[in-house]
Amino acid sequence: MERFWIILGLSLTLAAIGLIESLMTLTLIDELKETRGRSNKECIGQGVANVVSGLFGSVDGCAMIGPTMINIRSGGRHRLSGISAALFLLCFILFPPLWSCIGLIPVPALIGVMFIVVIATFEWTSICLWNKIPKSEFLIIVSVSVITVLFDLAIALGAGVMICPLVFAWKKPHRLEAVKRKKKGHGLRTRRAPSSSERSRHSRSSSAPLTTRT
């Protein structure tokens, strides 16, 4: 029973990471192709495929940003491109004469391809927006990035999910408004209490020096 709980925890972690990476890849494809993908359909398909692969003793998988970017940059626009890549990979695995062909590819060439993928994937225009986004969002971005490098993606995602509600709870009281309604006769009398942001703006305006024109 103890082994079951260990396997359950690891499987939930892998499933969460796989789904999040697949959804991130789907979002990236939608931005590049200017389309609208079906996230629910992709999640169901990935879950069924991982269950079937597990029954055959294989490992689970998910959509990956690197191969997807190579596919998109090479002109792939439909599912046939992904299916073709999977079939070619299956041929390299099943036929031993093709194993030597993989060894002919130099490792520096593969590293160069991955660097090109990283350069093409990164949104370079977002660097100019770092001083325009809220500090809370900047804190979440930096925290998740640093935790991913120091630990792993699962811990980084958990930290990001925990930080977001805390930031929301910190910012929400500044926007709360109290509304008091009182019935009098057949009419309805409403009294609204200003929020803290409105009170701060009112205090700044009231403390500002008055200017007169002659």
In a domain, 27, yes or no: yes
pLDDT of residue 21: 81
pLDDT for 207 equals 47
Task: Assess whether 87 and 143 both reside in one domain.
Answer: no
Answer whether residue 59 is part of any domain: yes
| Residue 209 within a domain | no
Rounded to an integer, what distance in angstroms lies between the CA atom of residue 148 and that of residue 162?
Answer: 15
Model confidence at 195: pLDDT above 70: no
Predicted confidence (pLDDT) per residue in 88-108, tens digit: 888 888 887 877 777 788 888
The 10s digit of each residue's pLDDT in 145-175 is 888 888 877 788 778 888 888 887 777 655 5
Assess if residue 109 is contained within a domain. Answer: yes
Mean pLDDT in residue range 75-94: 82
161 in the same domain as 148? yes
- 4-59, pLDDT tens digit by residue? 888 888 888 888 888 888 888 888 788 777 778 788 888 888 889 888 888 888 87
Looking at the structure, tell me whether residues 117 and 128 fall in a common domain.
no
Q: Say which residue, 76 or 194, is predicted with more confidence.
A: 76
Same domain, yes or no: 131 and 181:
yes
Q: Does 129 lie in the same domain as 105?
A: no
- Provide the residue range defining the domain that includes 20: 1-63
Q: Report if residue 80 sits inside a domain.
A: yes
pTM exceeding the 0.75 threshold for the entire prediction: no
pLDDT score recorded for residue 213:
41
In terms of domains, do 49 and 106 share one? no
Residue 194 pLDDT grade (very low, low, confident, very high; cuts 50, 70, 90): low
Closest among 14, 26, 25, 2 to 59, alpha carbons compared = 14
Considering the domain boundaries, does residue 200 fall inside one?
A: no
Give a yes or no: residue 206 inside a domain.
no
pLDDT of residue 177: 52
Residue 142: inside a domain, yes or no? yes
State whether 45 and 75 are in the same domain: no
Split into its structural domains, the chain has a count of 3
Indicate if the pLDDT at residue 185 is higher than 60: no
Residue ending a domain, choose from 63, 93, 112: 63
- Residue 209: band (very low, low, confident or very high) from pLDDT cuts 50, 70, 90: very low
